Amino acid sequence: MPLTGWGNYAPEPFGTSCTLDWWLAQASVSGQSFVLAILFFCLILPTGIIVFSYVMIIFKVKSSAKEISNFDARIKNSHSLEIKLTKVAMLICAGFLIAWIPYAVVSVVSAFGEPDSVPIPVSVIPTLLAKSSAMYNPIIYQVVNLRRYCRISSCFKVLKKRRNFRKSR
């Protein structure tokens, strides 16, 4: 959008990278509309897509589990898979929102508030949270899989102990 002349980027006040040009946003309607467009297309729309996608995945898993249990009586309950999937979906949505909502609030206050209404030290924390958002999903998936791995590995330890006990008899 800045290539077409709508909005602008500028160095961050603390000099780590570039961000939206807050001074332009405060000075013009074009800058403010740019901030609102970024807010919609980079926060509100992705949040809606993420929530909708995970809700549809959870519904599909539940309906598939019901269909399978109707055909195969041996499958008693796939409830634990549904719970795990729901937890992962909630953690991913929460991570995305925790990372980006503070930055969105600072953006709106900076664009529509008084000049220098957000002190530079205060604006660092939301910026760092937003920049760290790329690492949340892998961490969430790793923690969920690590729990499963720990449970499996503890089962193997118990089986080894049983084998050693049987051999010693």
Report the CATH number at residue 42: 1.20.1070.10
d(CA 80, CA 65): 11
Report CA 80 to chain centroid distance, whole Å. Answer: 22
> Which DSSP state fits 168?
H
Length of the chain: 169
State the SS3 of 122-145.
Answer: HHHHHHHHHHHHHHHHHHHHHHHH
Looking at the domain assignment, is residue 81 inside a domain?
Answer: yes
Looking at the domain assignment, is residue 34 inside a domain?
Answer: yes
Neighbouring residues of 149: CB distance < 8 A, sequence distance ≥ 6: none
Tokens describing residue 114: 């008084």
Count of other CB atoms within 10 angstroms of residue 23: 15
Looking at the domain assignment, is residue 162 inside a domain?
Answer: no
Looking at the domain assignment, is residue 88 inside a domain?
Answer: yes
Tokens describing residue 45: 């729309």
**Cβ–Cβ < 8 Å for 46, 96:** yes
pLDDT tens digits for range 56-111: 887 887 787 777 766 665 555 556 667 777 778 888 888 888 888 998 888 888 77
Using CA atoms, how far residue 116 sits from 58, 100, 106, 129, 133, in Å, is 44, 21, 11, 21, 26
Q: Does pTM surpass 0.85?
A: no
Looking at the domain assignment, is residue 157 inside a domain?
Answer: no
Query: Tell me, what's the pLDDT at 45?
Result: 93
Looking at the domain assignment, is residue 59 inside a domain?
Answer: yes
Domain count within the chain: 1
The residue segments making up the domain with residue 71 are 9-134
Looking at the domain assignment, is residue 48 inside a domain?
Answer: yes
Looking at the domain assignment, is residue 74 inside a domain?
Answer: yes
Tokens describing residue 166: 């049987």
Tokens describing residue 22: 């807050």
Burial of 20 from C-beta contacts in 10 A (0-12 / 13-18 / 19+) = buried
Residue 114 in 3-state DSSP? coil
pLDDT tens digits for range 104-161: 888 888 778 776 777 878 888 888 888 888 888 788 778 777 666 555 555 555 545 5
